[in-house]
Amino acid sequence: MRFYTGQHQYYCGIDLHTKNMYVCILDQAGNILLHKNIPATPQDLLPIVEPYLPDIVITVECMFTWYWIADLCRNQNIPFVLGHALYMKAIHGSKTKNDRIDSRKIAALLRGGMIPMAYVYPTEMRSTRDLLRRRMHFMYKRAELLSHIQNTRSQYNLPEFNKCISRQRNRTGVIEHFKDKSVRKSIELNLTLLKQYDNLLNDVELYLVRYTKEHCSNDLYLLQTIPGVGKILSLVILYEIQDISRFQRVQNFSSYARLIKPKKESAGKVKGASNRKMGNAYLKWAFSEATLLLIREKQEIKDLHLKLKNKHGKARALAIISHKLGRAVYYMLKNDQAFDMQHFLNIRDRAA
C-alpha cells in the first residue's frame, strides 16, 4: 500500500456524497481554516479552494462519485489524491461518526502522509473500462437465464437438449421440450430475454473492438498471442491494467490482480489469510477465464495442470497457473514481447 507524502501549504479533505460534501481545509500546522458542508458541484467547490491556490492538495475517499472531482482537479492543475476506502480505518473505526468528523480526519490523514492511495484512472480510458464492466454484468444476467432453463429441465427430470443452447441457432424446439403450459411460458420469457441480450452484447462488442483499436493496438496484439485469449478478454485485461508501469514489481501486480493469497503474520506466527478480496475483481475473473482457455488450447498446459492437480488439488492447481499467467502478462507488457510458451513453462511459481 502506497501513502501520499507530498508536502503542501494547505490540505483539503472532502467527505463526498451524491448530493453534498463536507469540506475541511487545514494548514501545515493543522489549524482548521475552513469546515463547511456544501452541494456536490464544481461551482460550489472552486470558490472555496481558490483562495488557497496554488499550493493545496485535495483528497476524497474512493466511492462511485469521485470522477468529477478528479477531472476538475486535473483541469485546474490541483493535486488530487484518491483515498483507498478499505484501508482508511481511522475513519470507519470511530465511536462517533458523521460527515464533519470524517472530513476532518481525511484532511488530517492527508497532512500526516497517511492517506492510502487508490489509483486515479485516466479520463481518456475510464468510460471504455466502465463499458467493459457493464458488458460483463449483462453476460452474468445472460448466464443466469441459461442456467434457469437448464435447472428447470433438471427439475422436471427431462432429457438433455440435443445441442448447447448458449448459441442462438440451437434453441429451436426448446420450448416444446417442456409439457406444462406455465413452464413453457417461463422458458419462452427466458428465450426472449436471451435473444435481446445476444443482440445487445453483439452490438457492444463490435463497438468495443472498433473503438479500442485506435488506442492500444500493440498491447492488444500482445495479449492475443496468449492461446485462447480473444478480443474481448484481452480488452478486459488491458483496460483494467491501463498502464503496466504503475506497478513497480511483478509482486505488486499479482497482488492487485488477486493472484496471490495474502498472509497475516505477527511475531513470526501466521494469524490467518484474510483480505483475499483486496484488489481488482475484474482482473481476477479475466485471468481465471484465460487460464481455463489456456488449459483447453495447449497440451503442455493440460499436462502441467494434471501434474499440479495431483499434487495440490484442482482449485490450487488452477490458482498456480493463474499466477504464472499473471506474471507472464506483466513481463509481456513491460518488455513489449509476445507470449512465449517455453518461457511460461519455465516460470518458477509458488502455490497460491
pLDDT 10s digits, 79-92: 999 999 888 876 76
Which DSSP category does 145 fall into? H
The predicted structure's pLDDT at residue 17? 94
By CB neighbour count within 10 A (0-12 exposed, 13-18 middle, 19+ buried), where does 165 fall?
buried
Question: For residue range 107-159, what is the model confidence (pLDDT) as tens digits?
Answer: 999 999 999 999 999 998 899 999 999 999 999 999 999 999 999 999 999 99
Of the listed ranges 99-113, 258-272, 278-292, the least confidently predicted one is 258-272
Nearest CA to 164 out of 182, 149, 176, 179 is that of 149
- Band (pLDDT 50/70/90 cuts) for residue 351 is very low
Which residues on neighbouring strands pair with residue 116, listed in sequence order? 3
Is residue 262 a contact partner of residue 288, using CB atoms and an 8 Å limit? no
Alpha carbon dihedral 73, 79, 83, 84, in 10-degree steps, equals 100
In degrees and rounded to multiples of 5, residue 286 shows phi and psi of -60, -45
Buried b (16+ CB within 10 A) or exposed e, 9-31: ebbbbbbbeeeebbbbbbeeeee
E-strand ranges in 80-128 read: 80-83, 115-118
Mean pLDDT, the chain, as a whole number?
91
Distance CA 121, CA 242 (A): 8
Identify the pLDDT of residue 215: 64
Say which range, 22-26, 40-44, 163-167, 276-280, has the weakest mean pLDDT.
Answer: 276-280
Q: What is the pLDDT of residue 297?
A: 93
| Proportion of the chain above pLDDT 70, given as a percent | 95
Q: Does pLDDT of 49 surpass 50? A: yes
Compute how many other C-beta atoms are within 10 angstroms of the C-beta atom of residue 346: 9
Give me the pLDDT at residue 192, please. Answer: 96
Percent of the chain residues topping a pLDDT of 90: 79
pLDDT at res. 33: 97
Which whole number is the average pLDDT over 63-78?
A: 94
Reply yes or no on whether the pLDDT at 352 is more than 60.
no
Cα-Cα-Cα-Cα torsion 45, 48, 51, 57, nearest 10 degrees, comes to -60
Written as nine digits, the cell of 170 is 440451437
Q: pTM for the complete prediction?
A: 0.87
Whether residue 11 is predicted with pLDDT greater than 70 in this model: the reply is yes
**Residue 4: which residues within 8 A CB-CB, separation 6 or more?**
57, 59, 81, 110, 113, 115, 117
Q: Which tens digits make up the pLDDT trace of 189-231?
A: 999 999 999 999 999 999 998 887 766 678 888 999 999 999 8
| List of residues 6+ apart from 17 with CB closer than 8 A | 40, 65, 99
- Say yes or no to pLDDT of 274 above 70: no
* pLDDT surpassing 80 at residue 285: yes
Q: How far apart are CA 103 and CA 157, in angstroms?
A: 59
Q: How far apart are CA 13 and CA 4, in angstroms?
A: 13
Starting at the earlier edge strand, list the strands of the sheet with 56-61. 3-4, 115-118, 80-83, 56-61, 10-16, 20-27, 32-39
Given a cut of 90, whether residue 343 has pLDDT beyond it is no
> In terms of C-beta density within 10 A (0-12 exposed, 13-18 middle, 19 or more buried), how is residue 132 classed?
buried
Q: How far apart are CA 149 and CA 187, in angstroms?
A: 6
What pLDDT, on the 0 to 100 scale, is given for residue 214?
A: 67
- Taking 70 as the threshold, does the pLDDT of residue 99 lie above it? yes
Residue with the larger pLDDT of the pair 63 and 269: 63
